[in-house]
């Protein structure tokens, strides 16, 4: 095969090496990632940024509804491999966790209703207490990462296995094409 054939193979390898990951990322961003963000994660962010317990609760309920709307059932895991399927990665735990956040927000709402009259605190120190309580809820929503991480993993592991395992098979394909490209480059440089 001449230099022209080797150059064509090299160009093909470079297109695959660059195009495959770029294509997968583009597909994920415009497809599954958008779908999950629209149904679930955007509501988690809205809950985090909410300034009242009632708004925070309504957004958390919308996030939980989004999980159900995406078809995430109690028995799904946020893991693909059997040895990685442990109880803290099951959707039933995700739903219990969401319910515990909502329960905590309900407690803040009860406190808010008891200490605020017409949106004004009955005591000036209550404003600081209220802000601390809301910050505690925000920390719970985003403690060591977002609280919807199980749902996100379950969404990919159960409905987009192709993308969930993409790192493994794309790595193998990329390695093969890099080796081919290196061999072709060697042939081109050494005649």
C-alpha distance from residue 92 to each of 69, 102, 117, 138 (Å): 15, 15, 38, 22
Domain positions in the chain are 3-189
pLDDT at 91: 97
The tens digit of pLDDT for each residue in 115-132 reads: 876 666 667 777 788 889
Nearest to 67 by CA among 38, 102, 28: 38
The tens digit of pLDDT for each residue in 45-68 reads: 999 999 999 999 999 999 999 999
Is the model's pLDDT at 72 over the cut of 80? yes
Is the model's pLDDT at 190 over the cut of 90? no
Q: Grade residue 96 by pLDDT with cuts at 50, 70 and 90.
A: very high
């Amino acid at each position: 095969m001449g230099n022209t054939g080797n150059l064509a193979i090299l160009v093909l390898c470079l297109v695959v090496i660059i195009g495959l990951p770029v294509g997968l990322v583009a597909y994920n961003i415009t497809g599954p990632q958008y779908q999950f963000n629209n149904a679930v994660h955007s509501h988690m962010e809205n809950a985090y940024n909410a300034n009242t317990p009632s708004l925070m609760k309504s957004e958390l309920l919308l996030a939980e509804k989004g999980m159900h709307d995406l078809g995430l059932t109690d028995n799904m895991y946020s893991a693909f491999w059997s040895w990685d399927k442990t109880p803290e990665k099951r959707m039933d735990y995700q739903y219990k966790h969401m319910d515990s956040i909502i329960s905590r927000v309900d407690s803040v709402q009860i406190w808010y209703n008891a200490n605020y009259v017409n949106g004004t605190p009955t005591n000036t120190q209550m404003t600081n207490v209220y802000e601390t309580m809301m910050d505690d809820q925000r920390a719970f929503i985003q403690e060591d990462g977002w609280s919807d991480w199980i749902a996100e993993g379950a969404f990919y592991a159960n409905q987009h296995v192709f993308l969930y395992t993409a790192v493994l098979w794309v790595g193998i394909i990329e390695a093969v094409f890099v080796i081919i490209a290196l061999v072709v480059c060697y042939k081109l440089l050494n005649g």
